[in-house]
Amino acid sequence: MARIELKQIAHSYLPKPEAESDYALRRHDHVWRDGGAYALLGPSGCGKTTLLNVISGLIQPTEGRVLYDGEDVTDLPPQRRNIAQVFQFPVIYDTMTVYENLAFPLKNRGIDAARIEARVGEVAEMLELTPYLRRRAMALGADAKQKISLGRGLVRSDVAAILFDEPLTVIDPHLKWQLRRKLKQIHERYHLTLIYVTHDQNEALTLADQVAVMVEGEIVQVGTPQDLFEDPQHTFVGYFIGSPGMNILPCAVEPGAAVVDGQRIPLDGRLSDKAGTVQGALELGVRPEYLSLAESGANGAVPVAVKRVEDLGNYKIATLSLGAHTIKAKLPEDQDVPGEQAFLTFPPERTKLYADGRLVA
Amino acid sequence: MGKWEDNKAWFLVLPVFVLVAISAIIPLMTVVNYSVQDIFGPGERYFVGIEWFEEMLANKRLHDALWRQFLFSGLVLLIEIPLGVLIALAMPKRGWGVSVSLVLLALPLLIPWNVIGTIWIIFTRPDIGLLGVAINGLGVEFDHTAAPLDAWITVMLMEVWHWTPLVALLAYAGLRAIPEAYFQAARIDGASPWAVFRYIQLPKMRGVLTIAVLLRFMDSFLIYAEPFVLTGGGPGNSTTFLSIYLVKLSTAMDVGPAAAFSIIYFLIILLFSWLFYQALQNVGTGDRQ
Ligand SMILES: Nc1ncnc2c1ncn2[C@@H]1O[C@H](COP(=O)(O)OP(=O)(O)OP(=O)(O)O)[C@@H](O)[C@H]1O
Ligand SMILES: [Mg+2]
């Protein structure tokens, strides 16, 4: 069990990084709570693997310190940190049996045979690998191999945190949920700190109690799935979480309103005042769930053209165009959508403003 | 059904069949044909059955050449495979050093085989050769044309110099193909460098090393040009390997025995290649009870 703290951490794969874009991990602070189950979401190449490797010690960060429970471990190699890591493709030692695979990390640490036997037995039992202990690991399926990789982390009684780098990518869909459930059990039983990288937001939302979203080498938001849904701190979070994602429209701001293609969209007065004080390109963000569509123009509604309506059973998705921009609205299934022209209402309390991708609040 | 018999697709296989027939089956059958006949001249021949085979299997000089050949191929495998793997492990993994070392390694492989013999004749000559003069200068008598042991050492050195690069290149390719995650997992598991070699690198090189062992076994078992140029099979018969002996036989116009010998030779190589292949494919893969 450990609280993992990153202090002013930054990493670049280049020998002499100069511009900010040279960094795979941009300088930032972050704390992973002791015993938390985190999902780490983000687009390809945003630095998720780099971040995990910095935490586990496979990579020495260019700048900053890594602390486990307040103790500085930045200069320790991975085997001296109480950490386990499971990779995208299962890593097993081909010529060893399942038992030998699980015993390997303990053997390397000079632990006595009786203790190894007890630990391996316990972990194998939990991962349902007991019947295979004497089998060659190489002959087993991808899911069993991935369990072995995980097991090699769990056998060490000192392990404080387990890092997963998209561990279920190569697992058959029908086995995925079993493994996911197993992971949840393990987390509940050992209260390990768990950081789980995934591309799949469903996986992230079912497994983790906290979701961290990373963009361009930086963690932009950590929160419960609900926080991420209701209060995206970054346009990427809005766009990535939810289906369909948040509508993001470039805009200008006037007192009490955002202007998109000449149309005034009412904004919270406090927000429009703030907009004058921030730097960067402004964008308006609103979730499709909060928009409402009507045939006639109510107060503050803007005229839109209806391009397409998809009926998805218990709701409808309307694709609308406002000037040059496309907007999606999620509507109740019983609503009749007008054929061509309609009026869209943006609720001011749900309409967010972003400057250079970051929430203006 | 007629699916097999009438299928026009058989015509698609025909070119391959003709090629294999011309390149392998027909020559092989010619040899089989000679091996069971005694031929005095054009049109004068009679069937002798397995007589040549019996004669060859009882031939003392053939036995000597065969044991010499096994010793040679055994030494070649014992030296070249570990040495090649060591070189591959020591080679740089990235940067300009990679291309430099690859080119250096490939050089001996690009030289024609009989030229290799000539190079080493000159290199080891006791009067003008760099190596020969150097060794004799140290006070050690060294002359591969006079002493059998010196001849063996020279042939081995030449063979190792010539072919270890191939093993190294194969092993290097095998090592580079191991995903980085294996090494990362090993670091987290606290594995020593030896354990990384023993449990990751060596098993992952199984495929390329199987190829290396088979190639080096077959090739060294068939070795002809280099020792023939270097020592001519001497001094005495000390470096007369199987193929050198075979050529001596067939140029003496003993086509029948030479053909019988060729077939025995072929079967030995086939048998041992199969044994090596089976052993390397199966080592460390069975379950343990
Ligand atoms: N070993 C390396 N050398 C140089 N650059 C690297 C290396 N590994 C990653 N990078 C670069 O660093 C950035 C972050 O990579 P990283 O692998 O951490 O992304 P990721 O979020 O894990 O992506 P993915 O979802 O595809 O796994 C990328 O731009 C990548 O090209
Ligand atoms: Mg990655």
Tens digits of pLDDT across chain A (361 residues): 688 989 999 999 998 888 888 899 898 888 999 889 999 998 888 999 999 999 999 999 999 999 998 889 999 999 888 899 999 999 999 889 999 999 999 999 999 999 999 999 999 998 889 999 999 988 888 889 999 999 998 898 888 899 999 888 888 888 888 888 888 888 888 888 999 998 888 888 888 889 999 988 889 999 998 899 999 999 999 988 888 899 999 998 888 888 888 888 888 888 888 887 888 889 999 999 999 888 877 777 888 999 988 888 889 899 998 888 999 999 988 888 777 888 999 998 899 999 988 898 7
Which of A89, A93, A136 is facing B199, going by the closest CB pair? A93
- Distance CA(A309)–CA(A316), nearest Å, equals 7
Classify domain A4-239 by CATH number.
Answer: 3.40.50.300
Give the per-residue pLDDT at B6. 74
Does the structure show a pLDDT above 60 at B289?
A: no
pLDDT at B147 over 70: yes
Look at residue B3 and tell me whether its pLDDT is greater than 70. Answer: no
Angle at alpha carbon of residue A181, lines to A177 and A185, rounded to 5°? 170
CA–CA distance from A140 to each of A80, A90, A180, B13, B174 (Å)? 30, 11, 19, 38, 23
What are the extents of the domains in chain A? 4-239, 248-359
User: pLDDT per residue over A169-178, tens digit each?
Assistant: 888 888 888 8
B12-16, B39-43, B108-112, B261-265: range with lowest mean pLDDT: B39-43
Query: Residue B73's CB: how many other CB atoms inside 10 A?
Result: 23
Q: In this structure, is residue B92 part of a structural domain?
A: yes
List CB contacts of B183: < 8 A, sequence separation 6 or more. B196, B200
Q: What is the pLDDT of residues B226-236, one digit of tens each?
A: 888 878 777 87
CA distances for B146 relative to A61, A187, B150, angstroms: 64, 76, 8
CB-based contact (8 Å) between B63 and chain A? no
CB contact (8 A) between residue A91 and residue B190: no
pLDDT tens for B38-50 read 877 777 778 888 8
pLDDT tier for residue B287 given thresholds of 50, 70 and 90: low
More confident site: B231 or B288: B231
In a domain, residue B54? The reply is no
Judged by phi (left if over 0) then psi (alpha if -120 to 50, else beta), residue B137 lies in alpha
User: How far is the C-alpha of A271 from the C-alpha of A349, rounded, in Å?
Assistant: 10
Strand-pair partners of A38:
A195, A210
**Rounded distance, CA B37 to CA B131, Å?**
49
Question: What tens digit of pLDDT does each residue of B267-278 get?
Answer: 999 999 999 898
Whether the CB of A181 is below 8 Å from some CB of chain B: the reply is no
- Domain membership of residue B2 (yes or no) is no
ipTM: 0.83
Question: How many angstroms separate the Cα of A326 from the Cα of each of A6, A233, A235?
Answer: 40, 22, 16
**Distance between start and end Cα atoms, chain A:** 35
Choosing among 2.40.50.140, 1.10.240.10, 2.60.40.10, 2.30.110.10, the CATH entry for A248-359 is 2.40.50.140
Contact between B224 and B241 under an 8 Å Cβ cutoff? The reply is yes
Residue A138 · residue B285 · CB < 8 Å: yes
Residue B7 lies in a domain: no
Is B288 close to A136, i.e. CB distance below 8 A? yes
**pLDDT of amino acid B101:** 92
Q: Is residue B147 exposed (0-12), middle (13-18) or buried (19+ Cβ within 10 Å)?
A: middle
What residue numbers bound the domain in which B215 lies? Answer: 62-288
Provide the number of structural domains found in chain B. Answer: 1
Residues within 5 Å of ion ligand 2, judged at the Cβ atom = A 49
Asked whether residue B39 is domain-assigned, the answer is no
CATH of the domain at B247: 1.10.3720.10
User: A134 and B285: CB-CB below 8 Å?
Assistant: no
CB-based contact (8 Å) between A13 and chain B? no
- Kindly report the pTM of this predicted structure: 0.83
